[in-house]
Structures are given as C-alpha cells and as structure tokens.
Structure 1
Amino acid sequence: MRCKVHIYYILLFAALCSCSEIKYVAEGSYLLDKVEVEVDGNHGSIDMGKMKARVRQNGNSRWFSTVKIPLATYSLSGRDTTKWINRVLKSMGEPPVIFDSLRTARSAADLKAELNNEGYLGASVEVATKKKRKKIDVTYILHTGQPYNIKDIKYVVEDPVVSQLLCLEDSVNQGLKPGMQFRVESLDNERKRITDMLVDNGFYKFNKDYITYEADTVGGANSIDLTLVLHPYRGTAGTDSLHPRYKVRSVNFYSGNADGERIRLRQSVLENNTFIRTGEYYSAADLQKTYGHFGRLQAVKYTNIGFRENADSLLLDCDIQVSTNKPSTISFQPEGTNTAGDLGAAASLTYQNRNLFRGSEVLSVELRGAYEAIRGLEGYANENFEEYSVETRLLFPRFIAPFLSGNFTRRTTATSEVSFLYDLQNRPEYHRRVLSVAWRYKWSDANHHDRYQIDLIDLNYVFMPWISDTFRRDYLEDESNRNAILRYNYEDLFIMRFGLGYTYNNGLYAIKANIESAGNVLGLGAKAFGFSKNEQGQYKLFNIAYAQYVKGDFDFTRNIRFDYNNSLVWHFGFGIAYPYGNSTILPFEKRYFSGGANSVRGWSVRSLGPGRFVGRDGNIDFINQTGDMKIDINMEYRAHLFWKLNGALFIDAGNIWTLRNYDDQPGGQFKIDEFWKQIAVSYGLGLRLNFDYFILRFDFGMKAINPAYEGKDHYPIAYPKLSRDLTFHFAVGLPF
C-alpha cells in the first residue's frame, strides 16, 4: 500500500510540473520542448556533437538530462513582481524557451553549411515539428548523400625559397593527400601548418591570407581536384615580390619598472630565458617560448616584446621590456581548528622573497603555531595540545644539476626545490618531533602534456622525546592491548626515501603514477659497515631504526563530455606498498586508508577496511584501519543545474588490504581468491557550488555493499538504514 502511495505522489508531482511549464507561454506561441538532430542513413564519420552545436535554439535545461527543474522553479512564481518571493523564484529559475521559427530556419542553414564543410556538398536539412497543446518538438533530419573526396592535390608556390623549405616534393609531410575526404577543416589545418612553418623560419610578415584554394569538381564522381596557391608578397607599393625572410640583428633588454630602476634580474637569467637569438631567423615559436619562460618567473610582473625593422635590410631589432615585482612580502593568516569536537586556534606568519639571488629564486619561511583544548582525557597532567613549526623552502626556476645538456634545460620548464621542516608537537599523551629535509626536481616539456618529478633525497627523522606513563601503560605495554602497528607509530624512526613521479593530462584523460623506495642505500651500508641492531633485530643509524619499503601508486581519470552541461567521469586508482628488510610494518604516513570525500563516499574518512575488518568493537579504529594496498573505482555523472550550482550522481567501489597477516587486523590480509568479495560499494548524490576559483562540494553517500558484515547487513542497498549507511562529506575541489 505504501508503494502505491509513493507512486501516486510521484505521478502527481510530474503532472504539476508538466502543467506549470506552459504557465508563461502566450496564446499562439509554443514551448520548445525537445530538440533532436538525426542523420538519414548510417554515417558514422559525422561528428554529432559538432552538428548539435550548430543549433541556435535549444529547449530549457534539464537536471541530469531528465527533469526541467529550473523551468518549474520559474513557473512557480506569480505574476506580481512586487512580491519578493516571485522575484526570487524567477531569479533562481529559467524562463520558458519560446519556439522561434526564424532561428530554426537559420539553424537548418547552419547545419547544411556544416555538412558542406564536412564534404557532403549535396546535403540538405529537413525540419520536422510535432505540436502538442502549447509544446513543440523540433527534429533536424540531415540528408547527407555521399561525401566528396580529394582526387588530386597540386601545390602552386612560385617562391623558390618557400618551396624548398616546405619540401613539396616530399608528400609525406603534406597535410592534404589524394583519396582523403574533402573537409574545410583539413584545408584550414594545411594553411595553418604552412603558415606556422614559415613564420618560424624567418618570414616575419607572412600570414595565412597569402594561401588560397582552387577546387574543381569532377562530374558525376563525387571527387574534387584541389589546388593550393601560395601567392607572392604584396609590398607597400602594391607590387608583387618574393616573401622577405628576416634575421634578428640584436636583442635588447629594457626595464619596465615605474620607478625607472634597472631590471632586478641578472643578465645571465635574462639571456637564458630568451629564445630569440642574434643572427638567427625570426621565429614566432621562439617568441612564445620567451613569453612563457618569463611569465613563470615569480620575480617578473609582465613582459612586453617588440620588433623593429631596419631600413633597406631584412634585419630585426628585438626589444624586451621586463617589469619586476617587489621582492619581499609578509603575510599573516589566522585560522580556527576543530578536531573531533576539540576547538582550537592556529596562526601562521610567512615571509617570501621572490628574487633572492636576482635570478627569480623564491625563498619562503613560514612560522606556525597552534593550540587546542582536548576534552575527555583522564589520567594526564594537562589536556592541551600545542604545535609549533618552521618550514623553509627555496625554489630555483631552473635545473640545479650537473651533466645536463643546454638543449634539454632550455626546452623544459623546470624547478629545483630544497625544503626544511621542523615540527614540534606537545600532546598530553606524548611529545613528538619531526625533522624533514628534501631536495627535488619538477619539470615539464612545453610541447607536451607531461610533467615529471624526482625526489632526489627526502630525509625524515621522527622521534618521541617523552611519552606519559599513563599512555605507555595503557597502550604500549599492556599485554591485553598490545598492538604492533600502534607501537611502531610511537617509536623513533628514520626514513631516507627516493621517489619518481609522472603526470599526463590532456583534458580528456589524466594519468598519474608515482614510485618511491626507502632504506635501500642504508641497507647496503648496514651490511657493508656492520651497523648495530636493536632488540627487534633492526639495523640502526645514529641509534635509530630506519624504515625500508617500496611503494607505487597509479591513477587514471577519463572525462567524457556529452555537452556543455553534462559529463561522465571515470576514475581508477591503485596503490601498493611493501615493507621489507629492516621493516615489517609501513610507517603510518605511508599506509593507505579508505573512505572519505575522495574515496568510497559511503564511509567516513579512514573507516573502511582493511578487507572485512570492522574495527574494534564495531567502532572506527584509525590506527588499525590502514593497509598496504588500495583499490578505488569511481564513476560520477556531473551536470550543471542553474546559477553556480552543479550536481553529481556517483557510484564508488574499493577497499584497502594488508599484505601481511596482522593479529590486530583480522580479515584484513589480501587474498587473490577472496579480495573481490571484500570490495565495498556505495552510491550517492552530490551538490557543488562552483565559484570558478574554488569549488565547495557537498556529497551524500549511501553504503550499497558492506564487506565488514554478512547476511542482510552485507547488502545495505536492499536493507538500507539511514543512521548506519548515510555519510555526509564536505570538501573543497572535485574528488578526482
């Protein structure tokens, strides 16, 4: 009976929305309901997305391509605009799209023109309409016919220098070839290819208008004979001549600072970031590289590059005007903290110098302090948390490394970074100190979508100068509560790691891969020089055991965009780490966790896994709910709703596992014949406020399959319970 009532309300709501849609549609007018583009026949080569973009008028937007909520919101408003509620509803909603026959006719003409551009020169477009009450559906039917192909291609270039440079005898490099389908886009691409080649080889005044085409159709054969004509240079006197080819005579640097002060950069820095060279032919590509390299220097405010012709010669003088920023800034940032209900405050003071050695080197020094009142602790002398840290970074906008070729360093955009961190934490239970020193490189190739990173050396020294007797007795020494992972996290530890990272992103899909290892060099040294061991049989350096492990991570994201408002995103993430040699347990910072705003969103952060482990007494166990291996699989449908509000429907799956069997994590070990039964699944709805420069995200996740339980509790999708299965996440930025 309850199911029937729910269906009744759903049908009633749908009927009310349908009626309200035409509330503001005048008599004799029609609401444009659906717009479709169809092809008469099977032509897989036609880009339907490009065709649909040619339609000048589409219906009202639909949430998740289904329900026209913005129009329904607008239609709920009354006609009295003096009432604030009516104004609010109209501003939040979307007025009805009224069918416009003139725009429809122009859309049909644009579709035909696009088909002609694609080589369907005999195409036609039929417009079919279907009216019902005050609504109208419009369908554009594309009658394409057979496409035209290029039968013969001929290049007419009377300039011998240009002809030799283009290698017209070598058809492999030509963008147009006999047999290919005639497309205007292909013709434009060939014009652009030739133009780019010439302006990168000294032809400073050349542009694509010097290139035209002549086309002759071959009767009854759907073929075209094509001739590309590269016209001679037209000078100021109106006479034709060979295209002038310019060389750079000089490169001059000028200050653009308002105070007239000279450029605050070393001459070598200016020259190394300039790709325009004296005695070489003018190149538009080198000009853009120069802009790009100066633009990434934080000491530079702006750059302006101009060229001056010399009378009666084919020489250019290049003038580069550089304006620099003030080198030093100081900033102060207060913040409030809330850790599991414990309130506190923090503040940071940051000094930054963006031109330390007059080479756009960036030095930053950050001092941070935090205080938090911890409640609910018994048996401790105080209940306050204090943290003080100092972090220093020095970034060089270039490679600081030997044995690198000049061509490689000039072709890449690189950063060398050295960092230092000292963090002091005083808790009621213990005092913790972290000392970190790192040297890394980051670089990318300007002509590709690849980015690379090498953590050449990363040293981390974690030590515990004091542990309270209460904490030691209750957690570290109590035989009934002995936990190997917990104890390992409160021992002094030294980590010496080396890492490699790679990222590729072309807008359609992204790949991210990282691999790191620690302790291998120390392991060789320990055996060679006979390092001493501790009670657990671990080698020690400076009387501290060092960590030894290898870790790899891989992420793949694919973005399928249906139109401007709708897209589907797939994500797969995999990570695995293995402790060996001097370690049987991974350092806590290197272990994996699952659940949270960027993982399986039916679970709160660090509350899923490992495997079918359920935590202590069914409660979240932050120490033990970590693992050595992780799988994340996500699918998210994203849609623009209205204003700055976007929506998402998502399905997440994944879990973590341990590679070894630990007594404190029963059911957490990865087994090839069982792990697939332990994949957790969740689904949910997300809302996002997109302010362009940042995104506020609200996700509501529901558990669908819970590997921690058996029976009915294993399938909450069939037996849901909101208090148990619903999780809310607030985050900044997209999940992947």
Structure 2
Amino acid sequence: MRGSLGLMCNWAKIGLLLLLLSISGCNTLKKVGEDELLLTKNNILVDDQKVNSSEIKGLIAQKPNSSVLGYPLKLNLYNLAKENPDSSFQDWLHRKEKREKHLNNLLSKKQVNRLRESFMVKGASEFLKRIGEPPVIIDTAETNKSINKLKSYYNSKGYFNSTGDYEIVESNKKKRAQIDYNITLNKPYIVDTVQKNITSPELDSIYIKTAQQSLIKKGEQFDLDKFTLERERLTTLFRNSGVYNFQESSINYDILRDTTIASDDQSMDVKLNINKFRSSTDSTDTNTPYKVARHRKINIYADYDINGATDTLKRIEHENYNIYYSGELRYRPKALTDAIFFEKDSVYRDLDRIRTYRQITNLNTFKYPNIEFIPDSTQTQLESNIYLAAKPKYSLNLNFDVTHSNIQQVGTAFSASVITRNVFGGAETLNVSARGSIGLLSDASLSNENITSELGGDVTITFPRIWLPFNTEKIIPYYMLPQSRLSAGTNFQQNIGLDKQSLNAILSYNWSPTDRLKNNFELLNVEFVRNVNPDNFYNVYRNTFSNLDEIADGFQDDPQYASFFDPVEDEGEEPSLNIPEGANSFARSILNGEIPVSTEDFEEVNSIEERRRRLTENNLIFASNFTHTKNSKSGINDLDFYQYRIKLESAGGMLSLLSNILPYNKNDNGQSLVFNVPFSQYVKAELDYIKHWEIGGSQVIAFRSFSGLAIPYGNSDNVPFVRSYFAGGSNDNRAWNAYELGPGSTDNINDFNEANLKLALNLEYRFPIAGDVKGALFADAGNIWNVFDNETNPDAIFKGFSSLGDIALGTGLGLRYDFTYFVFRLDVGFKTYNPAKVGSDRWFDGYNLKKAVFNIGINYPF
C-alpha cells in the first residue's frame, strides 16, 4: 500500500510539473524577436497539388518545432531557460573580489548561498536548453536551400526543367507564419534507347543473358533511383557469376543529350559503361579486364593462430577440401566442410561467401572467420583460404538478482551455466545450467514456513544440423542455418503456490530460409507437472476461498456443520471454513446434495470445486508444435516494419494412437492414464501480428493483434493451466493486472483467471519528450473466454459475435527511459470499458488515479 501511495504521489508531482510547464510555456514567442517570424507549418505544392510524402518533406531545411499532440513541449522547455543565467553571478563575483581585499577572502553564509543558487540557476538553464528546442525562425537563406533541394529531387525523377519558388504566409496570430513551397515540374524526360559499352567480353556475355531484367527500360521516365538500383543489381549479378573482385564503381552511365536546352523532344539516350578493373593499390592499373574465376583449391585452417606458422601444419584431404591443423584434428572433417559452400572447380559466387560466414558463425565454435581469395596470374583460378580461430572450449556464466513479487517480500536468485563447445567433434554445444532462489514469504497465511525456495536445472545440447535418421539437406540445406536442440530439465518449488515439481524434455529443430524468416519445429515437447501441496489451494487462491466462505456463512451457526469451521478464539470474530478439510468437505456436501442451497450457490460451488480440481491436478503433456515467424525490420534504426508469428500445436495425439496398442489404465472419469496421470489432449493455434509506422520526428505508431484458441478433445475436457491464456499485465492490457481480466464478463472470480480463447488488440503512440526520455499514449483491448471445454458459467463462455461486447478497453500513458541497451518503462493504465460492470458503469468507472494500474517493464511491450 505504501508503495502504491508513493507511486501516486510521484504521478501527482509529474502531473503538476506538466501543468506548470503548460502555463509557463503559453508564451511560445518569448524568444522570438520583433522582426522575426516563428515557423508554424510547411506546405509543399507540386503542380498545385499538395504533397504529404515524408520523403519529400524531409528535404525541407527548416521544420517547425516538434510537438506532442499539437503542444510544442520542447520549445516551451527551452523558453523556461533563463536568457543569461550567469550574468548576475558574474556581477556578484566582481563585487565579491573587491570586498575580499577587506574581508581576508572570507565569505559569509549568505554569500555562499547566493553562489550556490547562481550555480543551480545556471545548471537548470543549461539542462532546459539541452533537452528543449530553440524557436525555429524563418530564414530565407534556408528557404532557398530547400527550394534547391526540391528541384534537385525532381531533377532526379526526370523533371530537368522544373522551377520553384516560395511564399511566406503570415498568420493572424502575432509573429507566426507558414511557408508555401511551389514546384512546377514541366514535361519529364523519357529514356529512348539504352546503349552499352562493356569492356570485358565475359561481363558482356553475362549481361546479355539478364538484359530483360534491367530496371532501365525504353519508354519509361528517367529516374535516378532506378539507375542506382540497376548498378546494385549488376554488381550482385557479376559477383555471383564468377567475378569475385567486381567493383560497383566500375559502372557508370552517360546521358546522350543536353537537358539544359529546352526542347519539345523529351526523349533521351542512355549509355551503360562498365570499365575495366581498377587496382586499389595502383590507381594507374586500369587495363585489366574482369574475368570469371573458379575455385581451384580450397584450404581450411582449423584452430588458426595468426602468429603461428602454416608451413609446419599437418594436412588431410576430405571431399576436395584441404584441412590444415596442428597436433590432433579436433573436428570431424565433415563438420568443417559442411559449413563451407565453395566447391572445387565451381564458379565463384559471392552468395556462397556470405553463406559460409553465416554458417561458420552459426556453429558457435569459432570466432568470426577470415576468408581470402588468391588469384593466379590469369585471374581465372582462385586459391580460397578459410581461417578458423576456435572459441574457448569452456565458458562459465554467473548471474545474481534481487527480486520482489506478490509472493516474496524480497528474494535472491542465482544461476550458473557451463558451455562446452565441440563436444563430439562435430561442433556440438553442450549447455549445463542450474538456478535457484530463496526468499521471504510476503503472506504468512500461505504456508507454515516463512522461507520460499526454488531449484532447477537444464541440460541442452545443440547440433548444427538436422538430427534425424535420414538426410534432410535437400529440403533444409545448410545455408538455412539448421540446428537441432535436445534439452531436459527439472524444477522444484517450495512454499510457492502449490509447490510444483516439473520435468520437461524438448527435441526441436530450427532453420532460417532467409534473414527475415525463421521456422521452429518441436517434434517432441514433454512436460510433467506435479503439485506437491494441493491442500494449500485455498491459502493461495484467496478470492476463490472468500467466495466459498461467503456461501458457508449461512451455515456457520448450525451445530451439525461445526466441523467445517475453525473454532472462534476471540469474541465477535466470525468463523471461517477450515483449510483444507473444512472447505473441501463443505463443497463436497453441497455437490452431493447433503447441504441444501440455492441454484445460484450450487452453481458457484460447482465452479469453485471444478477450478480447485483443475488447478491441483497433475499434468502430463506430450505435444508437437510448429512456429513460423517473419520480421521485415532491416536494422535497429528501422522504425517502419512489420512482423508476424504463426504457431500450431497438437498434444496427446501420439499417446492416443498408442492406446490402440498399449492398454491404458483409466480413472473414474474414464480418462486414460500414463504414469498414473491423465494425459492432456488438445489442438492449439495462434496468430500474432505487429506493425510499426514512423510518422516523423522519431514518432511511431505501434499496433499489435493477437488471437489464440486451444480446443481440448479426447482425453481432456479442458486445456492445462500451463498452456491456457490469461489477460492483463505489463505486456497485455495494462489497465488490469496479470490474470485479473476475464474470462468474459466475469469480475475477477479467481486470483488467476485463465481460459482457452484469447483476443487482444494494442495501439500505442510513441514520441520523444526530452533527450533519452520518451512518452507514450496507448489503448489496449481484449479479453479471454472459455469455448469447447467444460466451463458452465455463461458469463465466461464465448457465444459468438455477441461476446465481442465483452472486449475490455484500457487506455493510459507511459514514460520510458532509453538506456541504449534496454528501455526502462513505466505505464499507467485506466479501465476505460470494463465488461464486468453493468450498463453505463462499464464506461470510465475506474478512470481515476486511485484505481489506476501501474506497470513497470523492461523494453517496449511490442
């Protein structure tokens, strides 16, 4: 509670600060001179048509001050800075120096305080200037520069005779104006013929074969970007056709007409020139024609030492590869040669070089490799050398964290892992890890002890190939960076929830057809979860217990039910059900008809007992799944991209087929048992889509949609808790805490609400505030429901389109601080539409700071 009040106070201070900033910043013209105009807007008109392209707008040299939802925050921050903060300090210092001659250089306390205040004012002013923006004053020199840039841009599109001017349009408001840029294009120039002058016969032959793919075509409008792309296409073509040393600078174009002379004929001839090779060491050497080269000899230097001699190394030959090593060869030859995509006597391809780099890096055994190509005197034969420097055989990683959660007041967590490389000589990687934590229990009622603990470990081995009894290279070649991963792990919890013990084993395969496409196939994902302390259910799930205890209040004074309740020790204290026997017996007695209750209470108790059984039962999951992802992001600075993830999963199908061969034991519900536990059987599908739009000035609109459905069948009437969906939390609907929202229109029935159908939509507007401080406004919508399972509560069941009215809406704002390596995030969410309420109470009922939900997270939610 104290922490929540502290956060509220902090937000109140932030709100007050923003209010003061808005009041003090009302005078946006504070630092605009009498004869100056503040730029408020740029309009670009091309042939009298308004242009809104961000590319063209980016050509304008002067842009208006940035704003957040129309408010010039950075400008007003800058205006808060004192004009000359150190002037008073300098005057005072001058007077002080005179007085010091008579005061023996002694300063009074008042003078010291004045000195400190002067420094504070100066520091605050410098800070405000650094994070703020000075007013953008219209400068005609910059405006003319913008006109020239616009004309140059349209010249590059073939409008060589374009003209441009501008007009400064003063606003009705004082000292404000906008600039209208007017561009007249006139007729564009059209490519008539494309001639070629290729000095190398071999390059000419390669070019002719792909001439139809040229991006520069007769009859199309001149576009400089197409010429640039065509140069890149030809460079890639030649380098992948044997010309290992081809230089893009060898390509240039001539325009065979004078475009400065006005004419009705807008056609133009273009000549493609591909010059001879120019040596980087001898600029006069321009007489060497490009030639197609082949790999004559391929040498692999295993465990290469840059300071070591190579003439004393041992050599073996494997499938036309020469492998050099010292001492004993620690790697199976095939493991090395499978990572090399050059083949003897094959034509050089730059694509093979790139794939070789990627695959060797993917082995996680060597440092980044060095590859060199040494041509012979004819420039047609290459000696290719691949130098491999091994990473350390063993690596040790240690981590230590201090944690806090709703279960632990404070806790410490530690983990350690040992990585062993090249375990079996085939560049395999073995990772053995252990983890543990210990903490102080936050609620003494959850357990008889105050200490919580968790201990676990995993063993994972990774193979740089598809590990199957048959060859998959034709389906998944090595350039797709195939990996097989086999892992097994266990985890033990004590005084955490129901004290779970889990065992898991995974056999998975992953590969990347391209840099942006990734596939992962888990052939076998086995998880066994055992609840060691199921009698602790009502201590952990307090909301569920409160609902049952409230029904029991009507029977607490009846002597025949006294055994269900704890004895009352203090006068005036209300008796409550005994945990676990009293609560379990009371629920069974109602469901068996031994205790008469209303239909509504019977259904409530039935739901509670079903949930208790569901959350305390042990789970055995034998699943297989396939995940396909695509990410169009081209780099860390790419703010305009999309990504999606599709996942399909099936569990229990293989065990169900085996039931025709192996007779299984059955429980009272007719479920087949494996290791005395009913195995889970379900199918599951998920689609996750994310899209980011950059809207200028480092502002981004981010959107995410998620839909997931898991359908139990056969041996199961519900989906295991560990594979079900929940709503709420810092990466979901931020107006609700995790597990708090839903299912459907139910109102937080349980401490951990979950279901087997989920829909979620998120929209976020991200903008810079000052320096590394960012801001966000967001809207999160979604919910979870039960469908095709054993849930009986109609408010929790998805019944079709009408249930979409149960989609909850949370809105809010956030602050983020960018630490470069990660982003610290604080979001506050407000319940804007709560489907658990009735009528008009659904809207804005929780829209106040007292009912807000504060979320702390690392990095962006999507």
Task: Tell me if both proteins adopt one fold, taking TM over 0.5 as the criterion.
Answer: yes
Cα deviation for residue 630 of structure 1 reads 0.5
Residue 551 of structure 1: which of 684, 701, 714 is its match? Answer: 684
| Cα gap change, 1:602 to 1:434, in 2 (>3 Å) | same
| Cα gap change, 1:358 to 1:94, in 2 (>3 Å) | farther
Give the whole-Å Cα distance in 2 for the aligned partners of 1:36 and 1:353. 62
Would you say how many aligned residue pairs link Structure 1 and Structure 2? Answer: 715
- Confirm whether residue 510 of structure 1 aligns to residue 637 of structure 2: no
Report what 2:46 is aligned to: 39
Give the whole-Å Cα distance in 2 for the aligned partners of 1:201 and 1:88. 57
| Cα gap change, 1:407 to 1:196, in 2 (>3 Å) | farther
- Confirm whether residue 67 of structure 1 aligns to residue 71 of structure 2: yes
Residue 785 of structure 2: which of 651, 657, 663 is its match? Answer: 657
Residue 104 of structure 1: which of 118, 143, 150 is its match? Answer: 143
- Confirm whether residue 143 of structure 1 aligns to residue 150 of structure 2: no
- Confirm whether residue 491 of structure 1 aligns to residue 491 of structure 2: no
Relative to its length, the structure with more strand (as a share) is 1
Contact (CA 8 Å) 1:22, 1:134: kept in 2 or not? no
Cα deviation for residue 256 of structure 1 reads 4.5
- Confirm whether residue 728 of structure 1 aligns to residue 854 of structure 2: yes
Q: Secondary structure at the match of 1:489?
A: helix
Report what 2:627 is aligned to: 501
Give the whole-Å Cα distance in 1 for the aligned partners of 2:438 and 2:579. 21
Residue 273 of structure 2: which of 229, 250, 268 is its match? Answer: 229
Give me the CA root mean square deviation. 3.0
Report what 2:711 is aligned to: 578
| Cα gap change, 1:282 to 1:533, in 2 (>3 Å) | same
Give the whole-Å Cα distance in 1 for the aligned partners of 2:448 and 2:735. 39
- 1:96-495 correspondence runs (5 A): 96-131=135-170, 134-157=175-198, 159-168=200-209, 172-216=212-256, 219-232=263-276, 240=287, 242-254=289-301, 255-257=303-305, 260=308, 265-340=331-406, 342-343=408-409, 344-378=411-445, 381-401=448-468, 402-405=470-473, 408-427=476-495, 430-446=498-514, 449-468=516-535, 472-473=580-581, 478-479=586-587, 481=605, 482-495=608-621
Report what 1:598 is aligned to: 731
> Deviations for 1:15-51, whole angstroms, at most 9, x for unmatched residues?
752525442x4565554443343323348xx882221
Give the whole-Å Cα distance in 2 for the aligned partners of 1:15 and 1:346. 48
Contact (CA 8 Å) 2:66, 2:697: kept in 1 or not? no
| Cα gap change, 1:613 to 1:182, in 2 (>3 Å) | same
Cα deviation for residue 54 of structure 1 reads 2.0
Q: Which shows bigger deviation, 229-238 or 594-603?
A: 229-238
User: For residue 526 of structure 2, what is the amino acid of its counterpart?
Assistant: L
Cα deviation for residue 427 of structure 1 reads 2.3
Cα deviation for residue 503 of structure 1 reads 0.3
Cα deviation for residue 192 of structure 1 reads 1.6
> Deviations for 1:160-219, whole angstroms, at most 9, x for unmatched residues?
433332235x65422222332220111121122112111211223322333332334695
Report what 1:6 is aligned to: none
Cα deviation for residue 568 of structure 1 reads 1.5
Contact (CA 8 Å) 2:25, 2:80: kept in 1 or not? no
Cα deviation for residue 248 of structure 1 reads 2.2
Contact (CA 8 Å) 1:610, 1:665: kept in 2 or not? no
Q: Secondary structure at the match of 1:356?
A: coil
> Deviations for 1:518-547, whole angstroms, at most 9, x for unmatched residues?
001111212343322111110011222100
Greater C-alpha radius of gyration: 2
Q: Secondary structure at the match of 2:129?
A: helix
Cα deviation for residue 100 of structure 1 reads 3.9
Contact (CA 8 Å) 2:59, 2:149: kept in 1 or not? yes
Cα deviation for residue 672 of structure 1 reads 0.9
> Deviations for 1:121-178, whole angstroms, at most 9, x for unmatched residues?
222222222356555533322222343333333444464433332235x654222223
> Deviations for 1:233-281, whole angstroms, at most 9, x for unmatched residues?
5787767564322222222234444685959655433322222333222
- Confirm whether residue 19 of structure 1 aligns to residue 23 of structure 2: no
Q: Secondary structure at the match of 1:667?
A: helix
- 1:688-727 correspondence runs (5 A): 688-716=816-844, 720-724=847-851, 726-727=852-853
Report what 2:311 is aligned to: none
- 1:596-635 correspondence runs (5 A): 596-616=729-749, 621-623=750-752, 625-635=753-763
Cα deviation for residue 493 of structure 1 reads 2.2
Q: Which shows bigger deviation, 364-373 or 434-443?
A: 364-373
Give the whole-Å Cα distance in 2 for the aligned partners of 1:280 and 1:444. 25
Give the whole-Å Cα distance in 1 for the aligned partners of 2:414 and 2:273. 67
Give the whole-Å Cα distance in 2 for the aligned partners of 1:324 and 1:175. 44
Contact (CA 8 Å) 2:718, 2:790: kept in 1 or not? no
| Cα gap change, 1:380 to 1:607, in 2 (>3 Å) | closer
Q: Which shows bigger deviation, 636-645 or 350-359?
A: 350-359
Give the whole-Å Cα distance in 2 for the aligned partners of 1:47 and 1:62. 18
Give the whole-Å Cα distance in 1 for the aligned partners of 2:475 and 2:373. 25
Contact (CA 8 Å) 1:303, 1:323: kept in 2 or not? yes
Give the whole-Å Cα distance in 2 for the aligned partners of 1:460 and 1:492. 11
Contact (CA 8 Å) 2:168, 2:179: kept in 1 or not? yes
User: For residue 185 of structure 1, what is the amino acid of its counterpart?
Assistant: D
User: For residue 71 of structure 2, what is the amino acid of its counterpart?
Assistant: V
TM-score (norm: length of structure 2): 0.77
Contact (CA 8 Å) 1:62, 1:641: kept in 2 or not? no
User: For residue 648 of structure 1, what is the amino acid of its counterpart?
Assistant: A
Give the whole-Å Cα distance in 2 for the aligned partners of 1:727 and 1:73. 29
User: For residue 25 of structure 2, what is the amino acid of its counterpart?
Assistant: C
Give the whole-Å Cα distance in 1 for the aligned partners of 2:675 and 2:802. 43
User: For residue 824 of structure 2, what is the amino acid of its counterpart?
Assistant: L
Contact (CA 8 Å) 2:191, 2:222: kept in 1 or not? yes
Report what 1:561 is aligned to: 694
Contact (CA 8 Å) 2:359, 2:478: kept in 1 or not? no
Give the whole-Å Cα distance in 2 for the aligned partners of 1:274 and 1:709. 64
| Cα gap change, 1:362 to 1:475, in 2 (>3 Å) | farther
| Cα gap change, 1:363 to 1:604, in 2 (>3 Å) | same
Cα deviation for residue 494 of structure 1 reads 1.2
| Identity, % of aligned positions | 26
Contact (CA 8 Å) 1:205, 1:244: kept in 2 or not? no
Cα deviation for residue 467 of structure 1 reads 4.1
Q: Which shows bigger deviation, 99-108 or 389-398?
A: 99-108
Relative to its length, the structure with more helix (as a share) is 2
Q: Secondary structure at the match of 1:280?
A: coil
User: For residue 410 of structure 1, what is the amino acid of its counterpart?
Assistant: Y
Residue 54 of structure 1: which of 53, 59, 81 is its match? Answer: 59
Cα deviation for residue 472 of structure 1 reads 4.5
Contact (CA 8 Å) 2:24, 2:80: kept in 1 or not? no
TM-score (norm: length of structure 1): 0.90
Give the whole-Å Cα distance in 2 for the aligned partners of 1:272 and 1:314. 25
- Confirm whether residue 647 of structure 1 aligns to residue 784 of structure 2: no
Q: Secondary structure at the match of 1:483?
A: helix
User: For residue 577 of structure 1, what is the amino acid of its counterpart?
Assistant: A
| Cα gap change, 1:238 to 1:416, in 2 (>3 Å) | closer
Give the whole-Å Cα distance in 2 for the aligned partners of 1:11 and 1:488. 51
| Cα gap change, 1:497 to 1:429, in 2 (>3 Å) | closer
Q: Secondary structure at the match of 2:795?
A: coil
